Chains A and B, each alone.
Chain A
Amino acid sequence: MSEVSFSIDTEELRITVDDGVATIWIDQPDKRINTISHDTLDAIEQALNAIDQEPQVRATVFISGKKDSFIAGADINMLKELKDPSDVRALTFRAHDLLQRVKDSPKPSVAAINGACMGGGLEMTLGCDYRIATTHSKTKMALPEVQLGILPSGGGTQYLPRLVGIQQALQMMLTGKNIYPKKAKRIGLVDALIHPPGLHQAAQRAALQLADGDLKPDRSLKSLTDRLLESNPYSRKIIYTKALERTEKETKGNYPAPAKIVDAVRTGMEEGLEAGIRREAELQSELLFTSESKALVSLFFAKQEADKNPYADEARPVQRIAVLGAGLMGAGIAQVSSVNGVDSLLKDQSFEMASRGRKQIWKNLSKEVDKGIRSQFERDQILERVQPVDSYDDLHAADVVIEAVPEDLDLKRQVIAHLEEVVSPECVIASNTSALPITEIAEGAKHPQRFIGMHYFSPVPKMPLLEIITTEQTNETTLATAYAAGIKQGKTVVVVNDGPGFYTTRILALYMNEALLLLDEGASFEKVDEAMEKWGFPMGPFELFDLVGIDVGAKITDVMESRIPDDAFQISRIAERLAAQGLAGQKTKKGFYTYSGEGTSLDKEEANDGIYDVIASSGQASFASSMVQERLGLMMVNQAVACLDDGILKNVTDGDLAAVFGLGYPPFQGGPFRYVDTEGAASIVGRLEQLERKHGPRFAPARGLLELAERCGSFHA
């Protein structure tokens, strides 16, 4: 192929030359995907030096040697090794220099993108003179740094707005969302699209044309309004202000990165590239050591870990999942199964009821068709994987059966008995319940060793967590197979031991109970919701009551109360009373708030002040929002530690992960255990003791907290 040869000393990449065009194939050894590490930066520098010195080469193409993946971003382990702000600045400047080097080279360069092109990978392409992406379904571009509490510091805050405009760039960097090929072309993030097999040749041709001066890409902004708005400093100022306002509204000031991203962009666009580059490095060195970023990064790693089945060797194949109960929950479980290629049987009492579950799936998928996320054909194919059935006999071929019938112990036991008659001896039988102890459901089961709890969160297609609950009798194969089913369904899985409310429901129920006690004491539910949103939850406890159903909440309280041996707990009766009045929340369109609209996407209208009459409370008492946050937040945190003490949680990472992905616990805090580490165990103990003195023994610090405070330790290493 090439008569030109380069002496480069790296395994990170190789160079081939064709007809005057050098191609740099980034292909890190023994790795499935490429990431950017110090070695990568070294290698690219070497390659550029070699190419610059070779007179026969007129242009360069950057491409990945990996299948369906360009560069997935910076090597996060490299970021972890950064010890202080000066390290960050040094690394950032190095990346900037390299980018500038590519940009300034007299030999034009083309980035040929197939597969994921994220973070530092995308920033690298910004140095090139031209970008071609494939139309492959795996090709996507993003600057997701904000999700880790940092900013794109490989020049992203500077070169991206110069390429696609300030508004598009801010949108990308503030959300971290993926940009797919068609949109990338539309906004000018890439210059051309092609199918994967033609990518390399197309990039070579583009490179030659650039070298010949025959290709002059149009770099003016694609949208006329964007062009107008961004053409003068006055309207640009409005853009920055609006972006900051939106950010403040969404993050409640809990996340430092978004505002700093706006800052870096503004500095660069208003004061010039040099100033912008320096600002980017400066701000990143501040962000990387914040507790928020550390929390988000640790969640990222924990999630990566939970997405692998540690028991994979023990798992039986999962080809067919049966779901009992075609309600919102059951249909949701069938949907995530079939979307991920697993055949599912959706059983209800009649074919008609089972079909209704299928209708729900069709509606959800049709929305995705309307948005262009999937094709109509894909929708049909997924739908045909869901077979509605009305008899137990139809379930004989299932590998895993998940019952999602109403939360009634006797009903669930009956269902299990029926199931045991028809399914194969190896079939895993799982109960989806948010509170009923799995051990109690399994009583009377013929083969309790294949019985397990699989706790999904509503709405199932959107909520990422699956909490698996094992009993003392559950065997390893059952756990492994249930885990495998969860992974297949695209869920992040945590495994806990059985107990009242397991982990998630227990800490949530007592948190919600504390909110109701506040209401009893005369607090305004709107103020409580506001305080908890400010604390970082996506919605406050009362809005959450409306979402899950006040009646459901009352039932969970019931189940929990009868099973918590401790009488330290004061249980509020409010939910029960409201439910008795027919105030169930969203399903009756009236609970703590009123709702309008149809189906599953209701709009919150206004606070329902009639609530105060029903519970004979004023809603006028004034509580400092910090007090509300303290009582509710620490109740949840303390209960999380108690779950660890009681052996329900196996480790603190699971506890953090489940709280964030299952309950919406504020991600910037990293989870209840990370929160204790950030605040210090001794401080938490002190604050709990204060609450205990004022409100009673339910705030007594958990044993694990006391021990940790004693030895000045932390939960996470």
Chain B
Amino acid sequence: MVASSNGRAAVLVDGCRIPFQRSGTGYVDLSAYDMARMVLKGLFTRTGFDAAEVERVIMGCVVQNVETSNVAREAALAAGVPNHVPAFTVTMACISSNQAVTSGVDLIRGGIADVVVAGGTETLSDPPIQVKRSVRKRLFKAQKAKSPGDYLQLLKGLRPSDVVPEAPSIAEFSTGEVMGESADKLAAMFDVSREEQDEYGLLTHKRSAEAQADGRLQKELVPASPPPDFEPINSDNTIRADSTMEKLSSLSPVFVKPFGTVTAGNSSPLTDGASATLLMSEDRTRAEGFEPIGYLRDYVYVAQDPGDELLLGPAYAIPKLLNKAGLSIADIDVFELHEAFAGQVLAVLAALRSESFARNNLNQSNPAGEIPMDKLNTRGGSVSLGHPFGATGARLVTTAANRLHEEDGELALLSACAAGGQGVAMLIERA
């Protein structure tokens, strides 16, 4: 395997998340900052690690609240991380907390830090609502208004429709395309049928339900008891254990009507949640007496055309990383793939085994190959567990590493797509 470098290899000591909740449910009164401080405090409590020893806190977050735009810093302070520990927030759409983790890996490998906390947080229950640009301009001028006459002048020409606020949509800025439409289009490009998508959706929910029942998910959770009622939240409420093909096939498409194939049943739901990992240099881990879960060996990021290949990042990132490490799919024991949509996952799998995709898009003669379903997302994925944009990446890292122990493997590969046509793949070795 990749040689470790003088004790500066980055290891995952532990990772956790607060239970993921469908937006508008358990965390409806919380902001991303609230969830982030909860998960950070949970991580410190669970590991018993002294927050004063942390050298950097990095959090991913996508839908930013202007009050806490560096949410990592505010959450770290609230969670009891001392003032002297710098914190920053990264954003890279759905792979924001992958970026948080790999930034931590870079700091550790580069000898800049020995201990980094990396994670992510997201609420989709409370997206920031904007008033229209024309009104914002008036409001800006209003700061300088003094007399009643000034205010009257500002109101002149204002129509009632101007003051209707605008909620952000999950659409590409550069193309205007809603993400669900892209997924629908991608599934069609790779001939993924509605039925196949529903079957995958069913499978992933079933796997999550099993993992929830047998305690595999529980190990990664720190319970939350959010204000104002402080009712404890101990498990994910996104999993539909009672789903059936009949139910799934009866759902109407939501993005491309009436003939599209992407439905609420085969998509990841809008979700609130937060995740965190404790990363250390190998030497420091030994000195502290921690038993790490995995070595964060390598990673790649890729980017394509956000119009045609918005969610196809893994189909590029996985072969690139395997090539870089001199590995093949057969060498990997655990695959953990982000599921924005069932159709997107199946399209990526199709691309990976496609000779024409390998030739035309990757400029290589052979495709990466077939990822065996029994090694892929054995606890389900974002379709069943939910997808708080900023928090999913760190969940993938923790889960992939823990699965190596559960499933007795040596190497794990995780990959995820992101808005903007970007993607990531990471390689984790069991420790």
- The answer to whether A352 and B37 have CB atoms under 8 Å apart is no
Distance between Cα atoms of A34 and B294 in the complex (Å): 59
Residues on A with C-beta less than 8 A from B185 are none
Q: Which residues in A have their C-beta under 8 angstroms from that of B231?
A: 352, 355
A380 interface neighbour in B34, B45, B228, Cβ under 8 Å = B34
Contact with B along A265-292 (1 / 0, CB 8 A): 0000000000000000000000000000
Task: Please state if B37 and A380 are interface contacts (CB–CB under 8 Å).
Answer: yes
Interface residue stretch chosen among A226-234, A383-391, A518-526: A383-391
Cβ-based interface call for A185 (8 A): no
Q: Is A397's beta carbon under 8 Å from chain B?
A: yes
User: Could you tell me if B80 and A359 are in contact, using CB atoms closer than 8 angstroms?
Assistant: no
B300 close to A (CB within 8 Å):
no
List, in ascending order, chain A residues with CB within 8 A of B140's CB.
none
- Tell whether A351 pairs with B225 under 8 Å between CB atoms, given A380-B34, A381-B78: yes
A451 to B284, CA, bound (A): 38
Q: Are A355 and B80 in contact (CB under 8 A)?
A: no
Q: Which of A343, A380, A388 has the most CB of B within 10 A?
A: A380
User: Are the CB atoms of B234 and A380 closer together than 8 Å?
Assistant: no
- State whether A355 touches B232 (Cβ < 8 A): yes
- A contacts with B: majority SS: helix
Are B228 and A381 in contact (CB-based, < 8 A)? no
The answer to whether B225 and A355 touch across the interface, beta carbons within 8 angstroms, is yes
Among B37, B41, B230, the residue within 8 A (CB) of A387 is B41
A-B contact count (CB 8 A): 46
Q: Write out the residue numbers on chain B whose beta carbons fall within 8 Å of the beta carbon of A260.
A: none
* A381 in contact with B77 given A351-B223, A355-B232, A358-B230 (CB within 8 Å): yes
List B residues 209-262 near A (Cβ within 8 Å): 223, 225, 227-232, 234
B74 in contact (CB, < 8 A): yes
Q: Which residues of B contact A555 (CB under 8 A)?
A: none
Give the residue name and chain of the B residue nearest to A319 (CB): B50
Q: How far, in angstroms, from A366 to B29 measured CA to CA in the complex?
A: 15
Is B48 interfacial (CB-CB < 8 Å)?
Answer: yes
| Contact among A351, A377, A384 for B232, CB-based, below 8 A | A351
Minimum C-beta distance from A563 to chain B (A): 39
Whether A377 lies near B78 (C-beta < 8 A) is: yes
Q: Chain B contacts of A385 at CB under 8 A?
A: 80
Whether B79 is near chain A, meaning CB under 8 Å from some CB there, is yes
| Most chain B CB neighbours (cut-off 10 Å) among A352, A355, A359, A377 | A355
Residues of B within 8 A of A394 (CB): 45
Q: Which residues of B44-91 have CB atoms within 8 Å of chain A's CB atoms?
A: 45, 48, 74, 77-80
The interface residues of chain A lying within 8 Å CB-to-CB of B225 are 351-352, 355, 358-359, 388
Once the chains are docked, how many angstroms separate the CA of A488 from the CA of B79? 20
Q: Is the CB of B230 within 8 A of A351?
A: no
Interface magnitude class on chain A: 10 to 19
With contacts A351-B223, A380-B34, A384-B41 known, is A362 near B80, CB below 8 A? no
* Contact A384 B227, CB 8 Å, known A351-B232, A351-B234, A397-B48: no
The docked-state distance in angstroms from the alpha carbon of A387 to that of B80 is 12
* Chain A hits for B38, CB < 8 A: 384
Within 8 A of B (CB), among A349-367: 351-352, 355-356, 358-359, 362, 366
Assembled-state Cα–Cα distance A200/B78 (Å): 33
Chain B residues with Cβ below 8 Å from A380 are 34, 37, 78
| Chain B residues numbered 122-168 whose CB sits less than 8 Å from any CB in chain A | none
Of residues 300 through 350 on chain A, the ones whose CB sits less than 8 Å from some CB of chain B are 343
Q: In the complex, A387→B230 CA distance in Å?
A: 13
For residue B37, which residue of chain A has the nearest CB? A384
| Residue on B nearest A355 in the bound complex, by CB | B225
Question: In the assembled complex, which residues on chain A have CB atoms less than 8 Å from the CB atom of B223?
Answer: 351
How many angstroms between the C-alpha atoms of A358 and B227 in the bound complex? 9
A358: chain B residues at CB < 8 Å are 225, 230
Give a binary string over A178-198; 1 marks a CB under 8 Å from any B CB, 0 the rest: 000000000000000000000
Q: Which of B38, B223, B231 has the most CB of A within 10 A?
A: B223
A680: min CB distance to chain B, Å: 56
Q: How far is the CA of A351 from the CA of B45 in the complex (A)?
A: 14
**Bound complex: CA of A394 vs CA of B80, how far in Å?**
18
CB distance from A572 to the nearest CB of B (A): 40
In the complex the two chains form, what is the Cα distance from A268 to B37 in whole Å? 56
Contact present for B79 and A384 (CB under 8 Å): yes
A351 to B225 CA separation, bound complex (whole angstroms): 9
User: Is A387's CB under 8 angstroms from B45's CB?
Assistant: yes
Q: Across the interface, which residues of A come within 8 angstroms of B234, CB to CB?
A: 351
Alpha-carbon distance A384/B37, docked complex (angstroms): 8
Task: Write out, one digit per residue, whether chain A residues 381-408 have a CB within 8 A of any chain B CB (1) or not (0).
Answer: 1011101100000100100000000000
Residues of A within 8 A of B232 (CB): 351-352, 355
Q: For A362, what are the chain B residues with a Cβ–Cβ distance below 8 Å?
A: 227-228, 230
Q: Residue on B with the closest CB to A382?
A: B78
Contact across chains for B77 and A356 when beta carbons are under 8 A apart: no
The digit string for A412-435, where 1 denotes a CB below 8 A from any CB of B, is 000000000000000000000000
B323 to chain A, nearest CB (A): 44
Name B10-43 residues within 8 Å CB distance of A. Answer: 34, 37-38, 41
A351-B225, A355-B225, A358-B225 known; A384-B230 Cβ under 8 A: no
User: CA–CA, A624 to B74, complex, Å?
Assistant: 63
B48–A384 touching, CB < 8 Å: no
Closest-by-CB residue of B relative to A352 is B232
Expressed in whole angstroms, the minimum distance between the Cβ of B76 and any Cβ of chain A is: 11
Structural contact, B230 and A381, CB atoms closer than 8 A:
no
Nearest B-chain residue to A343, judged by Cβ: B80
- Residues on A with beta carbons closer than 8 Å to the beta carbon of B80: 343, 381, 384-385
| Bound CA span A359–B230, Å | 6
Assembly CA distance A385 to B37 (angstroms): 11
Contact indicator B230/A355 (Cβ below 8 Å): yes
B78/A384 in contact, CB under 8 A: yes
Residue of A nearest to B41 (CB): A384
A385 to B38, CA, bound (A): 11
A355 cross-chain contacts in B, Cβ below 8 A: 225, 230-232
Contacts of A343 in B (CB 8 A): 80
A356 to B229, CA, bound (A): 8
* Residues of A contacting B230 in the complex (Cβ-Cβ under 8 angstroms): 355-356, 358-359, 362
Q: How far apart are B16's CB and chain A's nearest CB, in angstroms?
A: 14
Residues on A with C-beta less than 8 A from B34 are: 380
CA of A355 to CA of B223, assembled, Å? 10
CB nearest to B48 among chain A residues: A397
Chain A nearest Cβ from B381, distance in angstroms: 27
* Residues of B with C-beta under 8 A to A384: 37-38, 41, 78-80
Pick the 3 closest A-B CB pairs, nearest first: A359-B230, A355-B225, A380-B78
CB pairs A–B below 8 angstroms (20 shown): A351-B223, A351-B225, A352-B225, A352-B232, A355-B225, A355-B230, A355-B232, A359-B227, A359-B228, A377-B74, A377-B77, A380-B78, A381-B78, A384-B37, A384-B78, A384-B79, A384-B80, A387-B45, A388-B225, A394-B45
Q: A359-B227, A383-B227, A394-B45 are in contact. List 12 more A-B contacts (CB 8 A).
A: A351-B225, A352-B231, A355-B225, A359-B228, A362-B228, A362-B230, A377-B74, A377-B77, A381-B80, A384-B78, A387-B41, A388-B225
